Structure formats: structure tokens, C-alpha cells
Amino acid sequence: MLRRITIQRPLSIVFFLLACCLVMSRPARGTDARPIIHPVFEIRDAQPQLKQTIDSILTAADRQLAAYGGIAFADTIVVLVATRHEQFDSVVGGRFPDWGVGCAIPELNTMIILSPFLYPYQIELAEVLRHELAHLYLHRLAGWSRLPRWMDEGFAMLIGHQWRFGDDWQVGRAVLTGEELTLHEIDALNRFGEGKAHLAYGQSYLGMKYLLDEYGWDSFLLFISELRRHNQLDPAFMAAVGLDYAGFQDEYAAYLKTKYNWATLLSDTMLFWIVIVLLLLLLYLFKRRHVKKKVEEWERATPTDDIFYPAGERKDQEYPGIGQQ
């Protein structure tokens, strides 16, 4: 489960000036051969070994983003490692679910994580760091325009490699029971409980994956570029995918319905056999419980001797010698 929320704060002039210093590298698939300048990671409050681990994870993630998406920034990214929850809360402003372990603060070019030594995560440290780095990069790329939350989280999950079989199952179950979220609803993610937030993260990932699979990376970058220029979702979506935001949400909702229905779920071979095994297991447990209950009822209603011996005839009467030796 995830584990971070991005804070939206008013922009200051300082941060606006920082935005003007943004250095973007070329798209990896382009022909421009300008050198990519990478950031420096300033890691605070971590032991030397942890510091080295964090630096190597973030450096690799930065290279991956530059190589795949042409996204890189020449700057210093601060990584705070909180050794106390209070320290973490004071940085993120108390607007963070208690199940989070990391948070990106794009306008400060900073991320904060709870120390993995003191607060064991349910996920890999690398996932958290890649996730937070993706938030920082995406917000900077968008010039701090307001991003749809699902896009923000979905992009971070893609870069964080955070999609698992259980996520697929959770989203599928929500769709089959009509409890899936709209993309717009995911904007309220910070107010969700852990279960609903998990669903929101899964749907965010699928939303981002759908956008990239259906329209391509270049369309996504065009969307971000338009959003940076106009700070409005409708024209940005229109330029990138030919639909306004509501139209794209409808298309995504239809995609979910197509992806998750009983026929397609059961056509997944592994899922099919998992369902069969679970059903057989449930059937076995039900039958065993039923038989046990019946036997107990019989024993209560009829003493065993009454079943095997005619009325009035006792076991010791049939074998008079028994019990007297």
C-alpha cells in the first residue's frame, strides 16, 4: 500500500523563480543530443549506509526517467529522513494519513520519508523513493499547475513499479460491485480511509496506464505542456487526446467496465484456477462443518447405546462377563 500524499501549497515567488530555472532534457526517443544534467540528492539525517542506499536508488530512478521519458532536472533535491513521527508530521503539516511513510513537497523540491529502520515499511524503500521522486518531477514538469490527483499518483506508481496482483483483484471487485471511483473522486484521496485509498491508488495507476497505452507518451507530455501553459484541464485534455476532461473520464470508466467483468476475469487462466481452488476449499469446509454438526445433533438426540442395542437391552447384558473380570 502506499504511503504518501502530495501537499498542495500556494506558490511563492521564490518557487516561481525556481520554475524558470527548470532544465528539461530531450525526449529519449528524439534526435536532439543535448547532454542531460542530473540533480544532486542532498540526504539529511540518515546514517551513512542508508544515505548511500537512498542516493543510489534515486540516482538510478533519475536516469530511468531521463532515458525513458526525457525528464531530468539540474537541481538539488532534498531528502529528509524522519526519525520521529512528530518530525514527519511537522514537515507535511499534519495533512497526511497515518498510514503514509513518505511525502513529496514539490514546491520545496523536497521529499520526506520515515526512517525505514525505525518504522518498518510494508513496501520496499525503493518503491517509496521512486514514487516520491516521480511526484517531484511531474509537478516540476507541469510548472506546478494543479494536476488531477489520479494522474499524480498514477504516474508515481508507474515509476515506483507499484502494481501487484492484489491491486488488480481489488479494482476488479470494486467494478463488479459498482463501487469503483470516478477519476474526479480520487481528488479527495487524502480524506479516504486506508481501504478506499488503496482502491484509489489502484485506479490511479490504471488511469495513467490507460492514458499512456491508448494515447502514448508524447500525448501525455503534450497534456503536461498544455497544462503548464493554461493551467486548465479541459484544453489540455482536448489537445492531448481530443476529449475534454469529462469525456476522458467517461472513456476510462468504459475501459474499466470492459477490463473487469466476469467473463474477462475468468478468462484469466491463473485467476480462473484460483477461483476454482477457493470454491472447492469452501465447499469442503462447508461439508465438513455440516457433517460434524449433524453428528453432534444425533448424539444429543440419541445415546449411542440406543442406536446399537434394542430398547431395554444393555451392552453388559449381551456380554454378561464383560466388566466382571
List of residues contacting Zn ion (CB under 5 A): 4, 153, 156
> What are φ and ψ of residue 78, in 5° steps?
-90, 135
Of residues 153 and 167, the one with the C-beta less far from Zn ion: 153
Q: Least separation, in Å, of the C-beta of 7 and Zn ion?
A: 11
* End-to-end CA, the chain: 71
Q: Least separation, in Å, of the C-beta of 148 and Zn ion?
A: 13
Of residues 70 and 102, the one with the C-beta less far from Zn ion: 102
Of residues 159 and 241, the one with the C-beta less far from Zn ion: 159
Query: 113 has which bridge partners?
Result: 81, 102
Q: Least separation, in Å, of the C-beta of 142 and Zn ion?
A: 15
Type of residue numbered 171: V
Of residues 201 and 260, the one with the C-beta less far from Zn ion: 201
Of residues 107 and 153, the one with the C-beta less far from Zn ion: 153
Would you state the cell numbers that stand for residue 128, as one nine-digit string? Answer: 517509496
Q: Least separation, in Å, of the C-beta of 157 and Zn ion?
A: 7
Q: Least separation, in Å, of the C-beta of 5 and Zn ion?
A: 7
Type of residue numbered 102: G
Q: Choose among 182, 154, 179, 197: nearest CA to 249.
A: 182
Of residues 137 and 260, the one with the C-beta less far from Zn ion: 137
Of residues 4 and 140, the one with the C-beta less far from Zn ion: 4
Q: Least separation, in Å, of the C-beta of 154 and Zn ion?
A: 9
What secondary structure does DSSP assign to 71-139, as a single string? ----SEEEEEEESSHHHHHHHHTT-S-TT--EEEEGGGTEEEEE-TTTS--SS-HHHHHHHHHHHHHHH
Cβ–Cβ < 8 Å for 134, 156 = yes
Please tell me the distance from the alpha carbon of residue 16 to that of residue 289, in angstroms, as a whole number.
Answer: 68
Helix (H) or strand (E) segment spanning residue 257: helix 245-259
Q: Least separation, in Å, of the C-beta of 138 and Zn ion?
A: 10
> What are φ and ψ of residue 238, in 5° steps?
-60, -45
Cβ–Cβ < 8 Å for 80, 111 = yes
Query: 44 has which bridge partners?
Result: 80
